[in-house]
């Protein structure tokens, strides 16, 4: 397998914590899910510490930082608290995401182009802390170029509109937009990841895009795990995307 058709899987464990928070119990522990995911082939673990703490808690992140065998991709809003928290934890990867309290899930990409100085300052602080910073953005040239200007080494293209497409034509259009975004990002020297809403029925087409580095997938894996178990759900997704990337 060459570099061109290698792909990584980041498993987002947010929604294991959603089940725990539903009753305020100590189970299921997202830390166990993370270690199981790593055993099943995850290349990294993604967690989103939201301002409203609806799922992942500060404790989860602190424990994961001590026990993960692969690497943590810490998703966070661009706030002073989160920047300070990330400087304490020093995760290998930090992904800056937009966040509004009332949203059901992340609705769009981070507007980097509209706030370059603010994002550049956050990227600098996190880079100095030893974190590789990615920006969660829509697959738009202006956002990709802004990401390069603010000094981020990586971007994560928002695949939500592709995943939520209602027709095959709409899905094809969104996939084409993502493919163009990958090309644009690579042409600007960026590492290009993708994620949000990817599932067992739609992830292969994204994985097959030449040059894409990593897919971050969570909700669908946790949902599938309810029926097949977490390790199998992760292993199935990893096998799916690796085979798709290899076929190209």
Ligand X SMILES: CC(=O)[C@@H](O)[C@H](O)COP(=O)(O)O
Ligand Y SMILES: NCC(=O)COP(=O)(O)O
- Residues marked as catalytic: 48, 75, 196
Q: Give 46 or 70: the residue with its C-beta nearer to ligand Y.
A: 46
- CA–CA separation, 47 vs 213, rounded Å? 18
3-state DSSP assignment of residue 188: coil
Q: Give 150 or 159: the residue with its C-beta nearer to ligand Y.
A: 159
Tokens representing 61 are 């992140």
Least gap, CB of 141 to ligand Y (angstroms): 21
| Total residues binding ligand X (CB under 6 A) | 11
* Contact between 77 and ligand X per CB under 6 A: no
Q: Give 60 or 75: the residue with its C-beta nearer to ligand X.
A: 75
Q: How many CA atoms lie within 13 A of 122 on its CB side?
A: 26
Q: How many CA atoms lie within 13 A of 56 on its CB side?
A: 25
Contact 45, 70 (CB under 8 A): yes
Least gap, CB of 219 to ligand X (angstroms): 6
Is 219 marked within a binding site? yes
* Contact between 136 and ligand X per CB under 6 A: yes
How far is C-alpha 187 from the geometric centre of its chain's CA atoms?
21
3-state DSSP assignment of residue 72: strand
Contact 110, 137 (CB under 8 A): yes
User: Which residues lie closer than 8 Å to 188 by C-beta, 6 or more apart?
Assistant: 144, 145, 147, 148
Least gap, CB of 246 to ligand Y (angstroms): 22
Which residues in 196-215 contact ligand Y (CB under 6 A)?
196-198
* Contact between 217 and ligand Y per CB under 6 A: yes
Contact letters for ligand Y, residues 17-56 (x by CB under 6 A): -----------------------------x----------
DSSP state of 183: H
Chain contacts with ligand Y (rule: CB under 6 A)? 12, 46, 156, 195-198, 216-220
Binding-site positions for 1-deoxy-D-xylulose 5-phosphate: 14-15, 50, 55, 105
């Amino acid at each position: 397998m060459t570099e061109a058709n290698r792909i990584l899987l980041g498993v987002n464990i947010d929604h294991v914590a959603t089940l725990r928070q539903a009753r305020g119990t100590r189970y299921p522990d997202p830390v166990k899910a993370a270690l199981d995911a790593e055993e099943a082939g995850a290349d990294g673990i993604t967690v989103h510490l939201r301002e409203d703490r609806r799922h992942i808690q500060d404790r989860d992140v602190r424990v994961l930082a001590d026990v993960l065998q692969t690497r943590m991709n810490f998703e966070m809003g661009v706030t002073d608290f989160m920047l300070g928290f990330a400087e304490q934890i020093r995760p290998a990867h930090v992904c800056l995401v937009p966040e509004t309290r009332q949203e059901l899930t992340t609705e769009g990409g981070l507007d980097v182009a509209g706030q370059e100085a603010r994002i550049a300052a956050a990227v600098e602080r996190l880079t100095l802390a030893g974190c590789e910073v990615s920006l969660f953005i829509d697959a738009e040239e202006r956002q990709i170029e802004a990401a390069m200007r603010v000094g981020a080494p990586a971007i994560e293209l928002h695949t939500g509109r592709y995943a939520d497409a209602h027709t095959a034509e709409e899905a094809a259009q969104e996939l084409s937009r993502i493919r163009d975004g990958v090309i644009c990002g690579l042409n600007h020297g960026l590492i290009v990841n993708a994620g949000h809403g990817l599932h067992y029925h739609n992830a292969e087409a994204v994985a097959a895009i030449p040059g894409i580095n990593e897919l971050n997938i969570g909700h669908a894996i946790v949902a599938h795990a309810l029926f097949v178990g977490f390790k199998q759900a992760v292993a199935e997704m990893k096998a799916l995307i690796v085979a798709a990337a290899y076929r190209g």
